[in-house]
Structures are given as C-alpha cells and as structure tokens.
Amino acid sequence: MTGKTLLKADPLPWLLAENGPGVRYLALRDLLDRPADDPQLAEARRAAHRAGPIAAVLAQMDAAGFWAEPGPGYYPKYRGSVWAVILLAQLGAASSEDERIGRACAFGLAELGAKVLLLDRDAAGAERYVRDAFAGFEVEIVDLAVGARPGLDAPLAQEFVAAVGAVPRPKYGWTDVARFSALGIPALNFGPGDPLLAHKADERCPVRQIEQVHAALRAWLDAVVVRDAVCGCARHVAEGLIGVSADDAEQEAGLLHHHYPCLASMGIDGDYGDTLMHISGNLLKNNIGPQVKPFRRIQYIIPGQKSD
C-alpha cells in the first residue's frame, strides 16, 4: 500500500498546475525527480522566483540583505533574517535565480558567522571538513566544540537520574553539555518542554512540566537531615544551604545557625569555656566542612602548611 492508494485521487496533476509556480517547482524537483537542467523544471524554478512565496519573502528584504532589522537575525522571532533564509531554503530558492538570495546569505555570514554541526567527526576532522568545503575562501574558526560523550556511567549522573525519576533519552542537538563532557565533568540535559518544538511557530511548554521539573530538582538538591536539634536548627540550616555553592557552604551554615531564633544560652558555659551557641555552631560547621570539601573549587593557602 502506498500513499497514492490511500487518496481518493492522484494529487500530482493538481500539484503540477501552472497557477501555483512554487508548488509546481517543488513537485517537479522532489516528486518527479527531474534533473536540474530539465527544461520544465528550469522554467518552473524561474516562475517560482517571480511570483508566489519566494517572491513574497524577497520583497520584504532590505537592500542591504536583512529582514526586519540588521544584526544576527534571530530576532524578531519568525520574522528576522535567519527565519527568512530558512524559509527560502525550504521553498527551494536559488541564488542563481535572484542575486538577492546571495546578498542575504553573505550578510548573514558576516553578521553571525557560519555554524556547522558535524556529529560524526572529532574536532580536527570537523575543521578539515569545513576548510575543504570552503576552499578558496578565508575561514576563521572562532569556536569549536566536540560532541557530548555518553556520561551516564558517572556515579553523580546516575544519582541524579535516580533522584529525578527520569528516563534517559538521547538529545537530538548540540548543547553546552558537550563542553562539560570534554572537561570530564558529568553533565546531562534536563528541563521542561519538547525539543522537537523548539524554534517553531507553535513552540510551547506546559506549566505542568515546569512544575514537575521544579519538584524533581528540589528532590535532587534537597538536603537530608539525619538528626535534627530539638529546636529545629539543623533543618533550618539544611534548607538554607540549598543552592549555595560548596565554596560558601561552611561559612553560610555558621551564619544560618547564628541567626536562627534559638534559646541556647550566650553565656559562658563553665564546663566548655564558651557559649553553647558557639559550641553548637562549631559542631555544625565541623560536620559540614568535610562533606563539601571534595566539591570546593577554591583552595586556601595556609602559611607554613599544606594548602587546604
């Protein structure tokens, strides 16, 4: 069974009607596989650039080569230069038929630079491919990143997946996770929304998904209090440390403890030679310090001793 057998009639004569040159051009090219030098295809291509969607898009282009406003062209969304060039490509527009198309591409490359996604090559191979593809042109590589490698073998990544209760799936597209992966840092993409809807006119994200992701991240970041003080101070400190960097956690814990409305005495205890408030605060900090030490980025130089 083919697509044609499911239709009530053959749509090809309608698609090839001469009153729709843009549709006729694409039907000849993509459905009938006419070669580029086919006379009927050549005439349909010329007609598609004189009237129809291609002509309408080009009519909105500024003489300098941009749409809506100069700049990289992503904004205004769906009306800027990036979107216009994408639409022209989908409509089969050719610079050989209208020099404005080449002017628009040149403007975009000058403003934004060429971005090439090569998933099956390493960094060196990707650079060679780009330079070969643009042989004869001056090519300046301003950014280069390899693809993200699978990272679910990292214990931290496995703990995250278990905590948020998500099913790992491949990410169809490049993100900055690749940069972390190259540095050996466990990283995953996690968030609400459907990536297949990104950059489309009906792009959307249900509020329910945002709430679910928020709850999942809270579950991952939430502090577990094994044993709390009678007054609830330990839980207060734990909740206050959520989102605090490991570099600042020990100091912040002391401040959270100090400002908690506790009834511990500030008088000097005869047995300990200090206030109970200070003693309990030091116990808390001394417990938190070793827990966060492996995750610190800052190293403190202690004169006459090894760095901590």
Does some domain include residue 67? no
* Rounded CA separation 208/216 (Å): 12
pLDDT of residue 121: 62
* Rounded CA separation 165/217 (Å): 10
Rounded-to-10 torsion of CA 55, 60, 63, 69: -150
Does some domain include residue 255? yes
Domain identity same for 217 and 161: yes
For residue 161, give its domain range. Answer: 155-221
Q: What is the CATH number of the domain that holds 210?
A: 1.10.150.900
> Per-residue pLDDT for 298 more than 70?
no
Does some domain include residue 33? yes
Check if the beta carbon of residue 216 is closer than 8 Å to that of residue 163. Answer: yes
Does some domain include residue 21? yes
pLDDT of residue 134: 74
> 27-79, pLDDT tens digit by residue?
999 999 999 899 999 999 999 999 989 999 999 999 999 999 988 788 888 88
Tell me the HSE value of 293 on the side-chain side, using a 13 A CA sphere: 10
Question: Over pLDDT 70: what percentage of the chain?
Answer: 89
Domain identity same for 163 and 213: yes
> Per-residue pLDDT for 209 more than 60?
yes
Domain identity same for 216 and 239: no
Strands (E) in 44-104, as ranges, are: none
Mean pLDDT across 188-197: 86
268 in helix, strand or coil? Answer: strand
Does some domain include residue 146? no
Distances (CA, A) of 71 to 61, 75, 100: 13, 9, 17
* Rounded CA separation 27/33 (Å): 8
Q: Name the band, by pLDDT with cuts 50, 70 and 90, for residue 265.
A: low
Domain identity same for 43 and 14: yes
Does some domain include residue 63? no
> Count of domains in the chain?
3
Residues 6+ away with beta carbon under 8 Å from 51: 21, 22
The larger pLDDT score, comparing residue 307 to residue 173, is at: 173
Domain identity same for 212 and 255: no
pLDDT of residue 4: 62
Domain identity same for 217 and 238: no
> Per-residue pLDDT for 306 more than 60?
no
* Rounded CA separation 76/206 (Å): 23
pLDDT of residue 33: 93
Does some domain include residue 106? no
pLDDT of residue 84: 93
Q: Name the band, by pLDDT with cuts 50, 70 and 90, for residue 17.
A: very high
Distances (CA, A) of 92 to 57, 65, 85, 87, 212: 12, 18, 11, 9, 42
pLDDT of residue 236: 84
Domain identity same for 193 and 169: yes
Does some domain include residue 162? yes
Measured at the alpha carbon of residue 152, what is the angle toward residues 297 and 290, in degrees to the nearest 5?
30
Mean pLDDT of the chain: 82
Q: Which of 178, 199, 221 is the last residue of a domain?
A: 221
> Per-residue pLDDT for 7 more than 60?
yes
> Per-residue pLDDT for 245 more than 70?
yes
> Per-residue pLDDT for 308 more than 70?
no
Q: Which of 16, 34, 51 is the last residue of a domain?
A: 51
